[in-house]
Amino acid sequence: MSSGTAATREPGSATVRSAAIAWRLATVVDVVTETPRARTLVLDVPGWPGHRAGQHVDVRLTAEDGYQAERSYSIASAPEDARIALTVQRLDDGEVSPYLSDVLRGGDRLELRGPIGGYFVWGVALGGPLFLVAGGSGIVPLMAMLRHRAAALTANGDARHGVPARLLYSSRRWEDVFYRAELARLAEDDGTLEVALALTHEAPPGWTGFRRLIDGRMLAEVAWPPAERPKVFVCGPTPLVEAVATALVELGHDPALVKTERFGPTGGSRSAA
């Protein structure tokens, strides 16, 4: 129902049944190392119904004895791409991500279903300005939005009149920044996209970007003014998303325009990106 092929309904509409989101057998056609702890699986998915930027898939692994584990992964690729890309960050104590990171290789098959989620999505038709805030692997669904935006620009043949977009992206260290080269290229090629990086733990010599956790002052500096009513998407670890969403509302942004996707536990210090 939230897929690219079926309409989403308004809350309050009558409930209806729709077809189940089918499990599909994807084939790994490429594996790209993004950071020391993350890699992208490029998948060929027969019968893929299409997706919108921001949606995710469920991945299911089955052991010889029938034991199964499922996890959700955001789609990194644009809807315009023929293949689906998932960027997976390896969690040392994880059950599924070490398999996807260490075991799975080109030619292997992987069971998944999707696309899932119809709220944390953006397409050029929704307009802007667009303000994206990512922490760590939270960049993945936002990258799908930027790739979709770039694909639409290319289709228009005019890089000067895209939906104005800004990305604020926090990582621990320079080597942890996903899609570094591609983000730099996108920002260079496109006068309507600005990318600001924040490094929280360690920065290379000569670093000119932000060198601290995202805070209200940084958001006031980077975000569009609330009066321009930017469409905001925030994705990352729960403490980062809580802090960013709260600060944006305090700065005067309309809570209804701030869409969030959180992962991981609450509490603790905001030591993570």
271 binds another protein (CB under 8 A): no
Rounded Cα distance, 223 and 230, in Å: 8
Exposure letters 160-189 (e unless 16+ CB within 10 A, then b) = eebbbbbbbbbbbebebbbbbeebeebbee
Nearest to 45 by CA among 63, 64, 59: 59
Residue 56 in tokens: 């995710």
Judged by CB under 8 A, which of 30, 70, 158, 202 binds another protein? Answer: 70
Q: Do the beta carbons of residue 38 and residue 137 sit within 8 Å?
A: yes
Which of residues 146 and 258 has its CB atom nearest to another protein in the complex? 258
Letter for the amino acid at 47? Answer: G
- Give the span between the Cα atoms of 189 and 204, in whole angstroms: 24
How many residues sit in the footprint of another protein (CB under 8 A)? 61
The Cα diameter of the chain in Å comes to 58
**Does the footprint of another protein cover residue 206 (CB under 8 A)?**
no
Nearer to another protein, 91 or 151 (CB): 91
Which parts of 99-118 interact with another protein (CB under 8 A)? 99, 103, 108-111, 116-118
9 binds another protein (CB under 8 A): yes
Q: Which of 46, 47, 64, 92 touches another protein by CB under 8 A?
A: 64
Query: Which tokens in the block code for residue 73?
Result: 């992964």
* Options 5, 30, 32, 95; binder of another protein; rule CB under 8 A: 95
Binding residue (CB under 8 A) for another protein from 46, 47, 63, 181: 63
For the bound state, the minimum distance from the C-beta of residue 80 to another protein, rounded and expressed in Å, comes to: 21
Contact call for residues 212 and 218 (beta carbons, < 8 A):
yes
> Smaller CB distance to another protein: residue 54 or 128?
54
Q: Does residue 249 touch another protein according to CB under 8 A?
A: yes
Would strands 231-237 and 258-263 be described as parallel, antiparallel, or unpaired?
Answer: parallel
29 binds another protein (CB under 8 A): no
Q: Which stretch binds another protein (CB under 8 A): 1-9, 126-134, 141-149, 180-188?
A: 1-9
Measure the CA angle with vertex 241, ends 50 and 236; round to 5°: 50
Among 3-11, 36-44, 73-81, 160-168, which window interacts with another protein (CB under 8 A)? 3-11
Dihedral through CA 107, CA 111, CA 113, CA 119, nearest 10? -70
Question: Which position among 131, 260, 272, 273 is part of the footprint of another protein (CB under 8 A)?
Answer: 260
Interacting residues toward another protein by CB under 8 A: 1-3, 8-15, 17-21, 23, 25, 58, 60-72, 95, 99, 103, 108-111, 116-120, 238, 242, 245-246, 248-249, 255-256, 258-260, 262-267
